Amino acid sequence: MSASLPQEQALESEAQSQVPRNRLARTFSALHYRDFRLVWFGAFTSTTGTWMQAVAQGWLVWKMTDSAVMLGIDAFLATGPMLIFSLFGGVIADRLDRRKILIYSQYLQMSLAFTLAALAWSGELAVWHIFLISFLTGSAQSFSGPAYISMLPRLVSRADVPNAVAMNSMQFNLARVVGPALAGITLAAWGAAACFAINGLSFVAVVIALLLIRPQPSNAGDMRRGVMEEMKEGFRFVGTRPTLLLLTFLAFSATFLGMALVTFLPVVAESIFQGGVRGYANLLTIYGVGSVFGALLIAATAHTSNKGRVALRLQLGFGFLMIAFALSRSLPLSQVIVFFAGVCIVGVVALYSSVVQLTTSDAMRGRVMSIFMLAFRGGMPLGNLIAGFVVERWSVSAALVVNGAILALLTLVFIARRTRFDESAPSGVAGVAA
C-alpha cells in the first residue's frame, strides 16, 4: 500500500498544518491524521468487545472446569494459531490489499462471536465449543494481525510512526480497562452470552472505519513467486539484521515469561483473594489503567532516542513486579503492583515494535512484522501452557515467581552487556505512510 509522491507530500502537509508542536499535541500527534483517527476509534470499539468476551470466556472456562490447565489450554488455542499461520499472513499482507484482508477477517470474527453467544443462550455450550471458537478466532487474527500492524505506518508520516504505535497500544489497553469493567457488569446482569453478543456487534465499528478510509494504491508483491520463497526472503531479511534478531528474541521472552501474570489473574482473584468475578475484573481493569498510563508516557516521549535500552529497563522492572505480585497477600498492595506492571509491559511492547517498524522497509514490513508477532504472540500460548501445569502442580505464586525471576535475570544480562539497538531507518524506506 505504498503512496505516490503527491500523496506523500499531502500527508506531510497534513502533519505540518494540523499538528501543533506543544507537548500535549505531540502526545496525540498520530490522531491528527484522518485515516489513523478512523481506524483508531474503530479498533478501540472492537477491542473493547474482544476484552468483554475474553473476560467472560476465561471466567466461564474456570467455572465449568475448575482447572488452571483448562484455562491455559484455552489461552493456548486462542493465540496458538500465530505459531501456524502468522508467517503466511505476513506474506499475504505484502501481496494483497491490507485493508481488504482486515475487513474479511472482521466479518469472520463477528460470525464466531455470534455463534458463541447463540450456543451460550441455548444452554448447549460445552468447553470444546469454546476451545474450537478460540482456535478459529485466533486463526483469523493470525492473518489480520500482520496486515493491521503493517498498515499503521502507512497512515501517518514517518516522524509520527512511534507515536502511532504507542497510540495503538493505548487504544488496546484503554479497551482493556473499559472491556473488563463492562464485562463485570454484563456478566452479573445478563450472563456470558450477552458479552459474546456485544463483542459480535463491536466488529461493525471497525468494518465501517476500514470502509471509510481512503484506500491507497497497493504495493502488491510478485504473485509469480511462491509463498514459501517470499517467506524465506523475510527470514533472510531478519537474519541479516542483528537489531531485528535481538528484538524478536526479546519479544518472545517477554511474552513467554510475562503473560502468565494476566492469564492466571482469575486464579489469583479466586484462590488468593476470594474476589470472584468482580475481583478478577477489578485486577484486570487496574492492569489496563496502568497500561494506558504507560502508553501515554511512551506516546509523549515517542520522538526520543534509545528506545531499545529504555525498553530493557522497563522489562527488568516488569520481572521484579511479577515476583512481588506473586508473593503479595495484601489486595491493595497487589493492585498497586499490577498497575505498575501494566505501565512496564506496554512500554516494552510499544518500544520494541517502534524500533522494528522504523528499521523495516514497507515492501518487507508484512513479513518482518509477522515474524516479530510470531515471537511476541507465539510466546504467550507456549508460556501459558507450561505455566498452567506449574500452577496445577504447585501454585500460581510459584509459577509467577519462577517466570519473573528468569525474565529479570535474562534482561539483566543484556543490560550488563550494554546492548545497543540500531534505530535508524534502512535505506529505501518510504519517508511517509499512506
- d(CA 423, CA 242) in angstroms, rounded, equals 11
In this predicted structure, the answer to whether residue 312 has a pLDDT above a threshold of 80 is yes
Confidence bin at 201 (pLDDT 50/70/90): very high
In this predicted structure, the answer to whether residue 224 has a pLDDT above a threshold of 70 is no
Q: DSSP character for 96?
A: S
In this predicted structure, the answer to whether residue 202 has a pLDDT above a threshold of 60 is yes
User: 3-state DSSP call for residue 67?
Assistant: coil
Q: What are the backbone angles phi and psi of residue 123, rounded to the nearest 5°?
A: 80, 10
DSSP string across 24-57: HHHHTGGGGSHHHHHHHHHHHHHHHHHHHHHHHH
User: 3-state DSSP call for residue 125?
Assistant: coil
Q: Supply the pTM of this predicted model.
A: 0.69
Confidence bin at 157 (pLDDT 50/70/90): confident
Q: How do residues 291-309 score in pLDDT, each as one tens digit? A: 888 877 777 766 666 777 7
Confidence bin at 118 (pLDDT 50/70/90): very high
* Closest residue by Cα to residue 342 from 292, 376, 299: 292
Return all residues near 61 (Cβ < 8 A) that are at least 6 apart: 70, 71, 74, 127, 130
Model pLDDT, residue 215: 53
Q: How do residues 271-281 score in pLDDT, each as one tens digit? A: 787 777 778 77
Cβ atoms within 10 Å of 168's Cβ, excluding its own: 25
Model pLDDT, residue 425: 47
Model pLDDT, residue 347: 82
Model pLDDT, residue 11: 47
In this predicted structure, the answer to whether residue 26 has a pLDDT above a threshold of 80 is no
Q: For 373-388, what is the mean pLDDT?
A: 76
In this predicted structure, the answer to whether residue 115 has a pLDDT above a threshold of 50 is yes
